[in-house]
Chain A
Amino acid sequence: MTKNVMIVGVGGQGSLLASKLLGHLLLKEGYDVKVSEVHGMSQRGGSVVTYVRFGEKVYSPIIDKGEADFIVSFEKLEAARYLEYLKPDGRIVVNTQEIDPMPVITGAMEYPADLVEKMEKAGAAVDAMDCLSLAEEAGSAKAVNLVLMGRLSKYFDMPEEKWLQAIEECVPAKFVEMNKKAFALGRA
């Protein structure tokens, strides 16, 4: 049975390392893996999506509506935007950070209020946390990705050591400790 993880956020937030870590780990576990994203507009603050699929044999590189076991979101509005992709029994892991999109910046629209509550009301299991504060506690605002991976790891039937080993193998040596700390704070 293929499992599906969607990683969503705002261009420039660093979802690349998250999908790299996940892909690396799952490949080592012996799964067939596909990781898919769209390049091109990602540097320009647009909405960005990465699909990670794994299982015995994975065909489609993308995740469709109603298929995601997990949606890992770097930003609250982006989690809500992709809610329709969640499986009925899927789970959203979301950083509660708010980044205003252009229609909000220009005043044409308001940043929607109570998004976590609204997603829960729609029937989604939502695990919301302030990953930015935890990342800063770990030593860098850029470690939001590892905080999110730490939280996601709680829902995976896989020993913690394997995740930590994957961090060692995917992150430059001088950032390993900081990223492990961010991972631990997310997993706590």
Chain B
Amino acid sequence: MKQLMLGNKAFARGLYEAGCSVVSSYPGTPSTEVTEEAAKYDEIYCEWAPNEKVAMEVAFGACLAGKRSFCGMKHVGLNVAADPLYTCSYTGVNAGMVICVADDPGMHSSQNEQDSRHHAIAAKVPMIEPSDSAEALEFAKLAFEMSEDFDTPVIIKMCTRVAHSQSIVDTAERIVPPAKPYEKNIAKYVMMPGNAIRRHPFVEERTRKLIAYADNCPFNKVEMGDTKLGIITSSTSYQYVKEVFGEQASILKLGMVNPLPEKLILDFAARVDKLAIVEELDPIIENHCKALGLEVTGKDVLPMEGEFSQNLLAEKFGIKVPEYKSLGEQLPNRPPVMCAGCPHRGLFYTLAKNKVTVLGDIGCYTLGAVAPLNAMEMTLCMGASISAIHGFNKALGEESENKTVAVIGDSTFMHSGMTGLANIAYNQSNSTVIVLDNSITGMTGHQQNPLTGYNIKGDPAGKINLEALCRAMGFERIRVVDPYNLEECDTVVKEELAADEPSVIISRRPCALLKYVKHNAPLKVDETKCVGCKSCMKLGCPAISIKNGKAVIDTTLCVGCGVCSQLCRLGAL
């Protein structure tokens, strides 16, 4: 049946139809829905792993055991999973193994815009790249066959516009291939030097075969139009090219972006007068063409940064872009903010008030860095807050120990904060680590994690005891605070910064958006008491504004957390 389907959901449908049996992933925008949608099929075992490295190793174990497997992640997640990736390229697979990596050009929800194709090249693993939902479904199925035919994991690269666009797909039935019995094969699967030395030539030979395959594979296609200009492109860039040029150019659409074909490109180049390469981010196809001795236009006119669009291409290729109207006025921005009732707010207010240097991490709470709280001074990657505070304090000693904290969310802590904490326990820095435990992975849209006690389907699961974990590492000072209680937060933060040993503060309250969280009635402003001092405004709560010199509560947003009333000395809230 034809239906409109999100790219990520279509990908999950492809996993289902291909008979995929085991899925293990870590959430990350824009990849999350592939796994969430796969979890809706009872035939597929799905889980959230603590991080991408674990997820990929789980998927590898499942394919080794003989069942088709999958793991999904965002671009920066593949950095975490790079270790297993580079070596399972050597071992190859038993049953098929497919990896999704979703890039985020334009950084809609990411800390960098790295181009994942570099990982595929470096790991010598084939990478294919759909340009819409129908291809996401089809490529997912073909990827498993390719994985088994060539004895390799296969990466499918998504990007925000393919992952988060709905287009028309046609679905089919699920076909589960016969399981491939696990067979002991030490030479293939034990990657110690003596064996790996023999596997490396296999990898090089596989790449040579894949290059030949790329010349005539279902992923790459030529669409001849006017031959004055030939364009080589892939992914969502193909859609912009078609939008702008239609039949006015000939197109080589590459669905397989590693390895790249040679003969196919040379033949295409011979049929057109001029050759242009349209690819977002890095000039990978372009450099390949140049290495083949072709003269091309590419990053000499197109940007390395950000997303493309039809107007951007038109403008860069000297084609007229549509006219548009303008208001000619600077409008107030509407940046994302911590929600009304967000449990992170009270803690960040405390840190700002105490002028603490905050080394931060990846999650909703990164919004602690924006006005009016401005209470975060570093965010790098998952888990870096804890490792970096150790380095910061080792470098500065007493100068920083009593006024610096690391803040990290519960899911991020389980992802890669634990190892940093082990380093503090082992190498003994007097560091204060705050775990913002809101009992969910918030930023990516509410996924469970090992601290929540529930699995991907919402069923009861193992629950790691955070306090016991910290104690087992040797931390003596472990404090739990309610971030809605400002006085308690203030006291505990001051005490733990002053202490002359490392400590962990757990700021614990579930995300205000969780369905099971009961809210209080919205607060009311007593206009006879409010003098418009704006003390409550220091929180940056979207439910509070000042109108006509008095505080006003937006009752549709306020969840009655009462943090603002603790700041009102006049009792007006």
Contacts and interface: CB of A to CB of B under 8 A. Distances in A.
A171 B123 CA distance: 47
B165 A61 contact: yes
B336 A122 contact: no
Nearest to A19: B166
A39 B325 contact: no
Interface string A142-174: 000000000000000000000000000000000
SS class of chain B's interface: helix, strand, loop or mixed? loop
Nearest to A34: B167
Most buried by A among B168, B243, B334: B334
A61 B109 contact: no
Contacts of A105: 537, 540, 542, 544-545
A103 B323 CA distance: 30
Contacts of A67: 310-311, 322
A86 B322 CA distance: 10
B548 interface: no
Given A36-B166, A66-B321, A141-B556, A122 B327 contact: yes
A84 B556 CA distance: 31
B367 interface: yes
A124 interface: yes
B29 A39 contact: yes
B331 A112 contact: yes
B445 interface: yes
Nearest to A107: B546
B164 A38 contact: yes
Given A45-B334, A83-B327, A86-B325, A64 B311 contact: yes
Contacts of B165: 34-37, 61
Contact of B364 (A34, A44, A64, A103): A44
Given A35-B167, A60-B236, 14 more contacts: A23-B166, A32-B167, A33-B4, A39-B32, A43-B513, A46-B334, A47-B334, A61-B165, A80-B329, A80-B331, A100-B545, A101-B335, A105-B537, A122-B327
Interface of B: 2-4, 29-30, 32-33, 108-109, 132, 160-162, 164-168, 236, 239-240, 242-243, 309-312, 321-329, 331-339, 364, 367, 371-372, 443-445, 513, 534, 537, 540, 542, 544-546, 556
12 contacts: A33-B167, A36-B164, A39-B29, A45-B542, A46-B336, A64-B309, A84-B326, A87-B322, A88-B323, A103-B332, A105-B542, A118-B327
Interface of A: 10-11, 23-24, 27, 32-41, 43-47, 58-62, 64-67, 77-78, 80-81, 83-88, 100-112, 118-119, 122-124, 141
